[in-house]
Amino acid sequence: MRSRRHLLTRLASVAGTAGLAGCSRSILPTAGTELGLPPNPRKLPERQHAQKEFLRTDGNGNPIAPRHHTVLLLELDATPRAESARTVERAMRTIEAAYEWRPEGLFHMLAWGPSYFERLGRLDATPVRRPENHSRTDDPRLEDFGAALVLSSDIPSRLRTVERAMFGSASSLGGKPVDHRLGEVFAVAGRRTGFIGKGLPAEHTDAEGIPDDASIPEHAPMFMGFRSGLSETQAGEDAVTIEGGILNDRFAGGTTMALTHFTQSLSEWFRGLGDDDRAARMFSPEFSPTDVTDFADSVPFSDQVREHATEHDIVGHHEKVAQARENGKPLLLRRDFNTTDGGRAGVHFLSLQESIDDFVETRRAMNGWYVRDDSEAITDRNNNGILEFITEVATANFYVPPRPDRSFPGLQVEE
Ligand code: HEM
């Protein structure tokens, strides 16, 4: 992994050669000091997306995700300038002062969307771009927000408390006064809420798309009954962090985020299929439900998608998306969670990756269009992983800056 010192040396030299030293705050990310603020008093990871070393693990060393999630989708309500950036930075520090950086406290990321960079007139020079439709059967809303505040915690009330302090009028947060609010700069344009973890799906069975019998296993961590996020099926935080480079130095140390909303049809999933069918569709026809239960920290798949299509007329979700691996490693760090937003069962598929291209490649691998040549029974939705049971509703892309550059990344501060 590149060291922070190495990064700063590289950034300083690029700033010098480009004649930009002292002019662009994103070239020299010094924790808000270039905005005229004192250094951030909290000692927190440089990456806003750093969580892994703070998470608990299960008996096999797999990280356990925070249980409750909210993503606030934001529109910029102020002119991009130093004063707005100072307000945002002070507001984010207010959240940081209130809660520890751990699941029992709060994790947060402030991400920025294509329309923000468009407003700065430099969308083409950023790692983010507007989303596209990658499905032939679904017609998702292609969304473009100015920014997104991603919150996650094991304590559900914390998410609403932060929202009220940042966008409402609550005068204190975690016992500390609130003097600066994100609501001074942003308006909330949408909310995505949800949960992941043992027992939570079974507590949310009153939504549309969920069978009214007790089909959802009591202890399942996800609506579809399986667990997700085994160590070896995830990209690491280093791997999804944007490397420096001539074009990327300005954005180095950050990552990109894709956020896609799927609704789920769980009645058909549980009533129409047996345990074997569900394991085959989620993973691969080579696995039995017992095999799946026995996975420790990896999915030991045989990498025979086309053979499975020919022999079984079914291909699994996992074996398809794993085709997008590079050097044996997945490209995405998935932080998806279940939802009942809109009164309907679903998934907010939130993933971090170095490049939006990595997301697109994996999303297309999930389509599995090529396996239609190997089996007439496989269509764009039928017998094709889990596609028959999910519908893509909306999708959006963001850039997640490193913490020192989180307030108006890419803004030239000259005041
Ligand atoms: C929407 C409903 C979805 C559900 C319920 C779901 C569920 C799962 C499950 C259970 C696994 C295997 C276990 C594990 O994670 O360790 C998995 C793996 C994976 N999924 Fe999904 N997934 C969904 C959507 C997506 C989407 C939209 C993408 C990408 C665009 C995706 C990409 C992946 C990747 C990259 C892996 C790991 C593959 C590897 O090991 O290389 N999934 N998913």
Cα 41 to ligand 1 centre (Å): 38
Per-residue model confidence as pLDDT tens digits over 289-312: 999 999 999 999 999 999 999 999
Q: Could you tell me if the CB of 228 is within 6 A of ligand 1?
A: yes
Sign (positive or negative) of CA dihedral 372, 373, 375, 376: positive
Per-residue model confidence as pLDDT tens digits over 1-55: 333 323 333 333 333 333 233 333 333 334 466 788 999 999 999 999 999 999 9
Cα 42 to ligand 1 centre (Å): 35
Q: Which of 81, 80, 4, 13 is nearest to 404 (CA)?
A: 4
Give residue 138's pLDDT band: very low, low, confident or very high (50, 70, 90).
very high
Q: Cα–chain-centroid distance for residue 263?
A: 17
> How confident is the model at residue 211, as a pLDDT?
87
DSSP 244: P
Q: Is the pLDDT of residue 321 over 50?
A: yes
Give residue 395's pLDDT band: very low, low, confident or very high (50, 70, 90).
very high
Report the 10 Å Cβ neighbour count for 143.
20
- Span of 50-59, 103-112, 209-218 with lowest mean pLDDT: 209-218
Q: Is the pLDDT of residue 359 over 50?
A: yes
pLDDT-above-70 percentage for the chain = 91
pLDDT-above-90 percentage for the chain = 86
Residue 76: its H or E element:
strand 68-76
pTM of the model as a whole: 0.93
Per-residue model confidence as pLDDT tens digits over 378-390: 999 999 999 999 9
Is the CB of residue 283 less than 8 Å from the CB of residue 301?
yes
Bridge-based pairing state of the strands 390-400 and 141-142: parallel
Which residue's alpha carbon is nearest to atom 19 within ligand 1? 318
Distance CA 412, CA 240 (A): 26
Cα 336 to ligand 1 centre (Å): 9
Helices (H), 322-394: 356-367
> How confident is the model at residue 185, as a pLDDT?
98
Give residue 212's pLDDT band: very low, low, confident or very high (50, 70, 90).
confident
Per-residue model confidence as pLDDT tens digits over 170-180: 999 999 999 99
Give residue 414's pLDDT band: very low, low, confident or very high (50, 70, 90).
low
Tokens of 90: 């002070």
Average pLDDT, the chain: 91
Give residue 246's pLDDT band: very low, low, confident or very high (50, 70, 90).
low
Cα 148 to ligand 1 centre (Å): 23
Distance CA 301, CA 283 (A): 8
Q: Is the pLDDT of residue 407 over 80?
A: yes
DSSP string, 6-68: HHHHHHHHHHHHTT-TTTBTTTS--TTGGGTPPPPSS---SBTT--GGGS-B-TTSPBPPPSE
Q: What are phi and psi of 406, to 5 degrees?
A: -75, -20
Give residue 247's pLDDT band: very low, low, confident or very high (50, 70, 90).
low
Q: Could you tell me if the CB of 90 is within 6 A of ligand 1?
A: no
Is the CB of residue 328 less than 8 Å from the CB of residue 49?
no
